[in-house]
Amino acid sequence: MFFRVMDKDRLPDLVRGLAAEYEVIGPIAKGDEFVFAIVSDPTELRLDYDTTILPPKKHFMPPTESLMSFRVQDSEVVGEELDRTPRVLFGLHPCDINGLMLMDNVFLQGYEDPYYKARRESTLIVGLNCMPHEGCFCKAWGTDEVHWGFDIFLSDLGDRYFVSVRSVEGADLLDRCVETRQITPEDTAEFQRVASEFQASFEGQPDTSQVPLLLDAKYDDPIWEELGSRCLSCGACSMVCPTCYCFDVRDRLEPDGQEGTRERVWDSCLYIDFAEVAHGHNFRASRAARVKNRYYHKQWGYLSKFERVLCVGCGRCASACKADINPRIVIEALQAGGGSL
């Protein structure tokens, strides 16, 4: 990795340079909140955003996407389109970049998912440092920093950015689009100061020690019934989660009934029929079983395969949940010895 410094007033140059070659997606305001959306003008970018309603995963795995189009008569696939639109995701915080890397494990290991892979390979990631806001608990999982998974990463030093360059494409891009300069010892010192300030600003991070083990040890704990009695099974937590990847597959027929498209759509393990099989048997008929499964998978199932928990502490689920269920609450209950919340 090498480093450059870019003056802040150069930012529009960078964004315009990118926009000439890529579809630029970044945080913009929507009412009182922020969303990742196409940026048509650099002034729209809100690099002071705290978090976005939806995580960036929708740009790699859209809520609905076509897997193939088919002909019914002879079961032939007549079209398979991979989205290779050159894109830049601009201004991702470390939690979201870490989230993408957790998705990569699922979609790029074992059987490769060609749809995810095509988008991932066509997308540049420009990271951006942040300051903890209320609800962040990335530090508890070690996802507060990110050392790879981006092309370039901007750290805000007030009047300038300290730019970490990870990839050849990132380096070329900087060269082509914007004027930067070599870092000086003062820049590095300031970078370190900002990083320490960031670390010192975290408050009340949950104690995540032994969480995977506790999930097994307290598998039959009454807390699950209690959480289940609150959960609305609405699936909002899954939709806003940067690492929830479950999906359903559906066929849509054209009116003539001869051709159609097979689509995948976001799904949630909290929906009642998620684990239902033929003859009405449901492996997770109760809401308690479904809530428990969500946490069990994220903090133990995934870990058993990839040695990381499937949560980056972004806090989006906590804002989305109408029943006040979120990882902090669940972890606290587990640590407290369960029983009641």
Q: Which positions lie near other proteins, rule CB under 8 A?
A: 67-68, 70-77, 80, 106-107, 110-111, 113-114, 216, 219, 245-251, 253, 257, 260, 262, 264, 267, 269, 274-279, 281, 283-284, 289, 293, 296-297, 300-301, 303-304
Closest approach, Cβ 109 to ligand FAD, in A, equals 21
Nearest to 144 by CA among 130, 156, 155: 130
Q: Which is nearer to other proteins, 124 or 309 (CB)?
A: 309
Q: Which two tokens stand for residue 122?
A: 């066509």
Per partner kind, with CB cut-offs from 5 to 8 A, the member of ligand FAD, other proteins, none near residue 247 is other proteins
Per partner kind, with CB cut-offs from 5 to 8 A, the member of ligand FAD, other proteins, none near residue 182 is none
Q: Which is nearer to other proteins, 9 or 216 (CB)?
A: 216
Per partner kind, with CB cut-offs from 5 to 8 A, the member of ligand FAD, other proteins, none near residue 197 is none
**Cα–Cα dist 305/44, whole Å:** 40
Q: What does 83-148 look like in DSSP terms, one character per residue?
A: ----EEEEEE-HHHHHHHHHHHHHHHSSS--HHHHHHHHTEEEEEE-----TT--HHHHT-S--SS
Closest approach, Cβ 283 to ligand FAD, in A, equals 10
Closest approach, Cβ 150 to other proteins, in A, equals 24
Question: Are 182 and 5 a contacting pair, CB within 8 Å?
Answer: yes
Per partner kind, with CB cut-offs from 5 to 8 A, the member of ligand FAD, other proteins, none near residue 107 is other proteins
Q: Which is nearer to ligand FAD, 202 or 271 (CB)?
A: 271
Residue 140: how many CA atoms within 13 Å on its side-chain side? Answer: 24
Helix spans in 147-184 (H): 168-177
Residues at the interface with ligand FAD (CB under 6 A): 273, 276-278, 280
Between the CA of residue 250 and those of 68, 247, 265, 271, what are the distances in Å? 11, 10, 8, 16
**Cα–Cα dist 111/256, whole Å:** 34
Closest approach, Cβ 286 to ligand FAD, in A, equals 16
Closest approach, Cβ 282 to ligand FAD, in A, equals 8
Between the CA of residue 61 and those of 117, 120, 163, 190, 243, what are the distances in Å? 10, 10, 28, 37, 11
Instruction: Please provide residue 90's backbone torsions phi and psi, each rounded to the nearest 5 degrees.
Output: -105, 125
Q: Which is nearer to ligand FAD, 181 or 252 (CB)?
A: 252
Per partner kind, with CB cut-offs from 5 to 8 A, the member of other proteins, ligand FAD, none near residue 111 is other proteins
Q: Which two tokens stand for residue 297?
A: 């998978």
Closest approach, Cβ 65 to other proteins, in A, equals 11
